[in-house]
């Protein structure tokens, strides 16, 4: 029981850290996202190796990694997919679009459910089916009102769901796979930085020391919540993690509206409202199932 309470606390803390990430990126307005992505990838590797050392989880040998070639290949694919989601996410945070980030992570679970049905042959419950329909209606209303798709939100939500799907096919432990994803992409990140630095087109490398450190700091600030999440998932149920994951976009939503002064027009209120309704229905169903399971177990 104590282990589960610790797991719940770790999961909640990880989602709080993700939720307040927009505060960090306010120090990098109009950031060069290419530099930000490259430096984040490059400095993720030493940071993750340091964390694994502190947790006494040595990184596997190359021979051990090579024995599971499928996991190795999928880790590379997962890293690329995560880059796309993270690129859209950080662009929104550094360009006054925190509401778009919030919407992206509110609809992410619904993308995940859909991918589970398509690729893992999972079956939608009645509540999940209603939630997916409400999400489609919410996005459809925005398209009708604004005349365009909320591309940033859709890219974030869909690619993060694809990243989660890839994780289903990786047999390495969570910390190893996260480290490996960055390690496989590091040569490309280093080549980009060397090329842009030589050409004099790198904003980060030509900036002052404080700004450069903020660029580099994007690695630990985005990886810390992922580490706490990985530790939590070993100690608590997926149901509880699923219910708590809405902490992140809720905090981002509050920051966007109350602190950063982004406009929350009636059209967005209707769109968000439909998606929230679907998530409430799913959460009530999941919570009911969780309580029923606990009662039977006792």
Q: How far apart are CA 132 and CA 109, in angstroms?
A: 10
Contact yes or no for 161/108 (Cβ under 8 A): yes
Nearest to 256 by CA among 133, 134, 106: 106
> Would you state the pLDDT for residue 241?
67
Q: How much is the mean pLDDT over the chain?
A: 87
Which residues lie closer than 8 Å to 19 by C-beta, 6 or more apart? 247, 248, 249, 250, 251, 252, 255
pLDDT at 292 over 80: no
Q: How many CB atoms lie within 10 A of CB 281?
A: 18
pTM: 0.87
For 83-139, the DSSP string reads HHHHHHHHHHHHTT-HHHHHHHHHHHHHHHHHHHHHHS-----HHHHHHHHHHHHHH
Domain regions of the chain by residue span = 2-297
Q: What is the pLDDT of residues 181-234, one digit of tens each?
A: 999 999 999 999 999 999 989 999 988 999 999 999 999 999 998 888 877 876
pLDDT at 6 over 90: no
Instruction: Tell the burial category of 155 from Cβ atoms under 10 Å away from its Cβ (0-12, 13-18, 19+).
Output: buried
Q: What is the pLDDT of residues 62-102, one digit of tens each?
A: 899 999 999 999 999 999 999 999 999 999 999 999 999 99
Of the two residues 27 and 242, the one the predictor is more confident about is 27
Q: How far apart are CA 127 and CA 133, in angstroms?
A: 10
């Amino acid at each position: 029981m104590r282990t589960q309470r610790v797991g719940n606390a770790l999961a909640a803390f990880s989602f709080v850290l993700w939720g307040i990430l927009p505060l960090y990126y306010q120090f990098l307005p109009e950031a060069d996202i290419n530099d930000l992505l490259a430096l984040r990838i490059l400095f993720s590797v030493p940071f993750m190796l340091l964390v694994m050392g502190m947790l006494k989880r040595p990184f596997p040998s190359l021979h051990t990694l090579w024995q599971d070639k499928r996991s190795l290949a999928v880790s590379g694919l997962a890293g690329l997919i995560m880059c796309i989601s993270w690129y859209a996410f950080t662009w929104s945070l550094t360009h006054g679009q925190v509401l778009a980030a919030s919407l992206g992570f509110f609809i992410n679970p619904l993308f995940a459910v859909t991918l589970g049905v398509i690729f893992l042959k999972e079956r939608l419950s009645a509540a999940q089916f209603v939630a997916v329909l409400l999400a489609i209606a919410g996005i459809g209303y925005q398209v009708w009102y604004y005349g365009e798709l909320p591309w940033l939100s859709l890219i974030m939500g869909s690619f993060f769901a694809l990243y989660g799907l890839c994780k289903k096919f990786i047999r390495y432990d969570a910390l190893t796979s996260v480290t490996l994803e960055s390690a496989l992409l590091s040569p490309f990140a280093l080549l980009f930085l060397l090329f842009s630095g030589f050409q004099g087109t790198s904003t980060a490398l030509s900036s002052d020391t404080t700004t450069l450190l903020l660029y580099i700091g994007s690695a630990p600030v985005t990886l810390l919540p992922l580490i706490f999440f990985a530790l939590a998932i070993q100690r608590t149920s997926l149901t509880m993690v699923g219910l708590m994951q809405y902490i992140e976009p809720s905090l981002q939503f509050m920051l966007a509206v109350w602190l950063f002064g982004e406009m929350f027009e009636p059209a967005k209120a209707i769109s968000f409202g439909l998606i929230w309704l679907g998530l409430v229905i799913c959460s009530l169903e999941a919570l009911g199932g969780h309580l029923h399971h606990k009662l039977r177990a006792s």
